[in-house]
Homo-oligomer: A and B are copies of this chain.
Amino acid sequence: MLDNQESGKKENVRVVSLAEARETGMPREILIALHETDGVGRVTIATIFLYGAMKGPGSLRHSGGYLAGDWRDMGLSARQALAAEKSVRPAAAERRESRYAAGRMDVVTYLDDEYPPLLREISDPPWVLYYRGRLELLKRPAIAIVGTRLATGYGRKVAEEIAEGCAGRMTVVSGLAKGIDAAAHRGAVSAACGTIAVLAGGVDRCYPPENFALYREIGARGLLLAESPPDTILHPGLFPLRNRIIAGLALGVVVVEAARRSGALITADLAIGYNRDVFVVPGQVTSPRSLGALEYFRKGAHPALDAGDIFQYYEYRLPELPGPKARNGAVSRARDAEEELGEDERLIYRLILERPSSVDELAASSGMTFGHLHSILLNLLMTRRIEQQPGSVYHVL
């Protein structure tokens, strides 16, 4: 599968429609066998389908037992044809089945009703997907949240909060990488619409190993998804291929934090290529770790302060109504906490929210007298909006 030497050819191959592919009569088991045949990649499979579509209905239905000669007729090289003949044999199919069972995974193909509909629309859809977890998540409106592996604390916090907000009405897709990806999965995994982690390697291998706990939780409560068959050896070329699935599954891609030339931007570029939306969560223009993301504003990306800003683009495609928790954490929490405060209390609360501070610092930046400040702090402490920590520093609760 996924022969790299084919990657340059994809422009020349038309994608067959679902109807055309089904009309050829190719059984899904044969498609899976081809996908796992060494030296047979996405483009070869596409040409087989096109051959079948040209030949007419049923032309790929068990034609002559799928011997090497048949595969040669369909345009495969001698070597590919021999490999394919071996791979489609019942014994090989049985070995695959027990491998899937051992890896607690299952398979969905381009030919199946369960295949994610938006992913079918991209120019180079995967023919086969391996998964563990809740397959039904593939039918929900999805949003991808991606970003740098070298995330700042700000980036991780915002990714987690926006993912939590989004997952109230959309499934959150990401790549289980360190940094932003992991934060997004973490925010979404317990929420109503859950999260999908698309892996570059096989579904039963956690990469990177640091995210094992998250990987296990997503396997149990969300969905692990991969184009690579089990036992695929990871190599760098698999990551951009994985990224196209992330972009392909989602209505839009949210970039939280990414330096220039960050790998996460490949996903954003693919989303633009697939005519999907790109959203950027604002960050500081002086932060090199934000600049790559912020520059997508110049390509027409939409600013997203919270999940609500994303929902409004898909309002007509989202089944549920926005609950009170649907808007994103940071913003609405700050808003709620401030709602019932007096003007001076609000000022002090905001100063502490921005940076944990001592009484002296608060007096200096607010210009209030100590007496007045003291009574405000007392009130905020008693209403459990702030707390005092060692060194008499006040934090927001």
Given contacts A303-B303, A309-B298, contact A288 B154 (CB under 8 A): no
| B282 adjacent to A331 (CB under 8 Å) | no
For A359-391 the 0/1 string (1 means CB < 8 A from B) is 000000100000000000000000000000000
Task: Determine if A259 is an interface residue (Cβ-Cβ < 8 Å).
Answer: yes
| A350 adjacent to B289 (CB under 8 Å) | yes
| In the bound complex, CA of A154 to CA of B283 (Å) | 11
| A350 adjacent to B282 (CB under 8 Å) | no
| A305 adjacent to B309 (CB under 8 Å) | no
Closest to A330 in B: B286
| A288 adjacent to B353 (CB under 8 Å) | yes
Partner among B285, B288, B291, B354 whose Cβ is within 8 Å of the Cβ of A158: B285
| A283 adjacent to B281 (CB under 8 Å) | no
Task: Determine if A276 is an interface residue (Cβ-Cβ < 8 Å).
Answer: no
| A303 adjacent to B309 (CB under 8 Å) | no
| A331 adjacent to B289 (CB under 8 Å) | no
CB-contacts of A299-350 with B (<8 A) = 303, 305-306, 309, 330-331, 334, 350
Partner among B150, B286, B297, B365 whose Cβ is within 8 Å of the Cβ of A303: B297
CB-contacts of A222-247 with B (<8 A) = none
Closest to A155 in B: B284
In the complex, what residues of B have CB within 8 A of residue A158's CB?
A: 284-286
Partner among B154, B282, B286, B287 whose Cβ is within 8 Å of the Cβ of A294: B282
For A124-159 the 0/1 string (1 means CB < 8 A from B) is 000000000000000000000000001010100110
- Assembly stoichiometry (copies): 2
**Cβ of A183 to closest chain B Cβ, rounded Å:** 13
Task: Determine if A295 is an interface residue (Cβ-Cβ < 8 Å).
Answer: yes
| B289 adjacent to A152 (CB under 8 Å) | no
Given contacts A294-B303, A303-B297, contact A285 B350 (CB under 8 A): no
In the complex, what residues of B have CB within 8 A of residue A291's CB?
A: 305, 331, 334
Partner among B259, B282, B295, B350 whose Cβ is within 8 Å of the Cβ of A284: B282
For A27-45 the 0/1 string (1 means CB < 8 A from B) is 0000000000000000000
For A261-298 the 0/1 string (1 means CB < 8 A from B) is 00000000000000000001111111111110011011
**Cβ of A187 to closest chain B Cβ, rounded Å:** 14
| In the bound complex, CA of A289 to CA of B330 (Å) | 13
**Cβ of A270 to closest chain B Cβ, rounded Å:** 22
| B282 adjacent to A334 (CB under 8 Å) | no
| In the bound complex, CA of A282 to CA of B282 (Å) | 5
In the complex, what residues of B have CB within 8 A of residue A281's CB?
A: 285
| In the bound complex, CA of A334 to CA of B287 (Å) | 10
| A157 adjacent to B294 (CB under 8 Å) | no
Given contacts A298-B309, A309-B298, A350-B259, contact A285 B330 (CB under 8 A): yes
**Cβ of A217 to closest chain B Cβ, rounded Å:** 25
| In the bound complex, CA of A285 to CA of B308 (Å) | 13
In the complex, what residues of B have CB within 8 A of residue A303's CB?
A: 280, 282, 294, 297, 303
| B334 adjacent to A154 (CB under 8 Å) | no
Given contacts A303-B297, A305-B297, contact A286 B154 (CB under 8 A): yes
A residues in contact (CB < 8 Å) with B: 150, 152, 154, 157-158, 259, 280-291, 294-295, 297-298, 303, 305-306, 309, 330-331, 334, 350, 353-354, 365
8 A-B residue pairs with Cβ-Cβ distance under 8 Å, sorted by A, are: A280-B303, A282-B294, A283-B283, A285-B330, A285-B331, A288-B334, A288-B350, A289-B350
The 6 closest A-B pairs by CB, nearest first: A282-B282, A297-B303, A288-B350, A286-B330, A285-B305, A294-B305
